[in-house]
Chain A
Amino acid sequence: MFEVIAYGLTIGGILYIVSIGFSLTFGSMRIVNFAHGLVYAVGAYALFALLPVAKGNFVIAAILAILASLPVSYVIEKFVIRRLYGKSIDYAIIASYAVLLIGVDLIKWIWGASPVPISDPVGTSVSFFALEIPLYRLIIIGLSFLIFISLSIFFKKSIIGKIVVAGLADREAVLSLGIDIDKYFAIVFILGSALASLGGILYGPISTIHPYMGFRIVTLCFAVVIVGGMGNLRGTAIASYTLGMVMAVTAWYWGAAADAMIFVVMAVVLIFRPIEL
């Protein structure tokens, strides 16, 4: 069972890291940004491409991969997302999904359609109650908690964080104070994209990377946001770890149903706490 918990917290941690940007974009701009999945995939592929450049040093390659994915998110924000502010949510879904499709084809064009393995950068395990748990997974869990605490402090203590929290609740009221709230939402968009890229980087060594990996994560992010609440920072964390555990426990008994169970939970939440999209 400890293995299941470790797996659930690992998946939950990655889900949290990726979902936070998706949730903030959803909550602040009312935009369902499916292109978020593309940044996640670009992060993973950039890691794959940069590992040889960094002479196999995972940390350096990861930092370079995040930096490499930022221009992609900047272009998406400037030329797609920013033009969708205040527009119908349908346009955002169609436009960002189109960006994801185009991006997936570009990845296939550059790296091919076959899955690519990335080896575990730590390569050792920790013994725990007669179980061998890969240290890399424990690092992911620790990193996700660290990001959760850092973001909590950022949104509670920094002026940028406070502006974003206020803007999520009442965009007009922030504008009435003389604050260009869109500028701060753009900063948060880039921050969220960097985290999406980090999520792809962290996920790579757990599984294999493939051009379609962005599709799966973005649907899972969608479920997290529905369960946790749009732009709800604490809700996103709770939903991510909860759904990660749901996936892990379901996979333990019935592997094929792990993803489906996430959407069962989402459906139950929608039945008992309907939201207006």
Chain B
Amino acid sequence: MLLNVDAINVHYGSAQVLHDVSINVKERELTCIVGRNGAGKTTLLKTISGFLKPTRGTVTFEDRTISGMRPDKVALLGVKYVFQDKRVFGDLTVRDNMELAAYPIKANLDEAIERLFSISGKMKKLIDSKAKGLSGGERQILLIGRALAGSPKLLLIDEPTEGLAAIVINDIARILMEMKGRLSMVVVEQNLAIVSRMADRVYIMKEGNVLREITEEAEIRDQAYIESLL
């Protein structure tokens, strides 16, 4: 097992937002986490990536306990968190954004940029543009490109299609499908059509709990079934 989240509780102040949450992620598997707003999906990703500390339970990555570890240390282990809200460094160019991604892991910048271009060829003409001028879809592609610098082991992607136009959503879904099988991913996604199409494993979350784990392919491909569980 690549990642094991074992019965974690997470609090914001005195309010408990995750209750005994457990999930498993296997190597090269695409795991989707679905649930309504406030279900605790983002909190779970933030806890795995080190931005929040569980008050109980452990997070283990490659048999190493990472719960309580600082987020930059978690990232250096190969666990990359792609925030929701398309948070690029707007005052820097696309190339600078890629440079910052490659720098801490001593990855080759040219290779990282080539990988970005392989995800989406349209980034070639934008490479020296300020990131704040990018569209929502282009920002998401840049964020995925940044996270892919230096061959990470696990990507945690938070709401990659949120707020994007339908045509751009298809583009992001295509990128995720192309990456599938080459590295492990945990994707928080509200678009159930995409979830049904690409997931290997699905966790349904509700009010800070994991309601169900779905591993049967027939159930995963049944969008109506997943929707009925939310």
Q: 12 A-B contacts, Cβ less than 8 Å apart? A: A159-B103, A163-B100, A163-B103, A170-B89, A173-B88, A175-B71, A175-B72, A176-B75, A177-B80, A177-B104, A177-B146, A179-B100
The answer to the question of A260 belonging to the interface, with a C-beta cut-off of 8 Å to chain B, is: no
8 A Cβ contacts from B31-55 to A: 49, 51
Does A177 contact B75, Cβ atoms closer than 8 Å?
yes
The answer to the question of B92 belonging to the interface, with a C-beta cut-off of 8 Å to chain A, is: yes
| Residue on A nearest B83 in the bound complex, by CB | A173
The digit string for B64-106, where 1 denotes a CB below 8 A from any CB of A, is 0000001111011000111100011111100011011101110
B residues adjacent to A (C-beta < 8 A)? 49, 51, 70-73, 75-76, 80-83, 87-92, 96-97, 99-101, 103-105, 146
Complex: how many Å from CA A162 to CA B101? 11
Min C-beta distance of A5 to chain B, whole Å: 31
Does A176 contact B91, Cβ atoms closer than 8 Å?
no
Does B100 contact A162, Cβ atoms closer than 8 Å?
yes
* 8 A-B pairs with the lowest CB-CB distances in the bound complex, closest first: A178-B75, A178-B104, A166-B89, A178-B76, A175-B71, A176-B81, A175-B72, A179-B104
Complex: how many Å from CA A130 to CA B117? 63
Chain B residues within 8 Å of A173, by CB? 83, 87-89
Does A180 contact B91, Cβ atoms closer than 8 Å?
no
| Residue on B nearest A179 in the bound complex, by CB | B104
Known contacts: A159-B99, A173-B87, A177-B100. The answer to whether A166 contacts B92 by CB under 8 A is yes
Min C-beta distance of B120 to chain A, whole Å: 20
Complex: how many Å from CA A142 to CA B83? 44
The digit string for A164-192, where 1 denotes a CB below 8 A from any CB of B, is 01100110111111111100000000000
Complex: how many Å from CA A79 to CA B208? 39
Complex: how many Å from CA A184 to CA B160? 29
Does B96 contact A176, Cβ atoms closer than 8 Å?
no
Complex: how many Å from CA A173 to CA B97? 11
Complex: how many Å from CA A173 to CA B51? 11
Complex: how many Å from CA A170 to CA B89? 7
Does B89 contact A165, Cβ atoms closer than 8 Å?
yes
Known contacts: A166-B92, A166-B100, A174-B100. The answer to whether A181 contacts B87 by CB under 8 A is no
Min C-beta distance of A184 to chain B, whole Å: 11
| Residue on B nearest A162 in the bound complex, by CB | B96
Chain A residues within 8 Å of B80, by CB? 176-177
Min C-beta distance of B105 to chain A, whole Å: 6
Complex: how many Å from CA A24 to CA B137? 32
Residue with the greatest number of chain B CB neighbours at <10 A, chosen from A169, A170, A172, A173 = A173
Does A170 contact B92, Cβ atoms closer than 8 Å?
no
Complex: how many Å from CA A261 to CA B109? 50
Does B83 contact A172, Cβ atoms closer than 8 Å?
yes
Does A172 contact B51, Cβ atoms closer than 8 Å?
yes
Does B96 contact A177, Cβ atoms closer than 8 Å?
no
Contact partner of B103 (CB less than 8 A), chosen from A169, A170, A179, is A179
Does B105 contact A178, Cβ atoms closer than 8 Å?
yes
Contact partner of A178 (CB less than 8 A), chosen from B72, B89, B90, is B72
Min C-beta distance of B65 to chain A, whole Å: 18
Chain A residues within 8 Å of B51, by CB? 172, 175-176
Known contacts: A159-B99, A163-B100. The answer to whether A176 contacts B71 by CB under 8 A is yes
Complex: how many Å from CA A165 to CA B87? 14
